[in-house]
Amino acid sequence: MTGSWGCPHEVKGLCSKVKNLPCDPGMKGCVLYGRFAFSDPDKNSPSIKRKLKDQKAEKKVGDKES
């Protein structure tokens, strides 16, 4: 068993799901878009951005209370 993940939509480095563009995990239209948070904010869906913002706000409140 390997630890890597292979996308079934990737064919020779191109994404068959998004107009045969070069595979760029997390880009808009990718199966990963909106499901995970990426370090590149441009790849994060509005709902992921909201979750990250809420988590950041909660952390700030937690820091002030301790």
Contact 7, 23 (CB under 8 A): yes
Query: Minimum distance between the CB of residue 19 and ligand SF4, rounded to whole angstroms?
Result: 10
Question: What would the x/- binding string for ligand SF4 be over residues 15 to 44, using CB under 6 A?
Answer: x-xx----xxx-x--xxx------------
Please, which residue, 25 or 34, has the CB nearer to ligand SF4? 25
Torsions phi, psi for 57 (to 5 deg)? -65, -40
DSSP assignment of 14-34:
EETTTTTEEP-TTSTTSTTTT
| Residues that bind ligand SF4 in the complex, under the rule CB under 6 A | 7, 9-10, 15, 17-18, 23-25, 27, 30-32
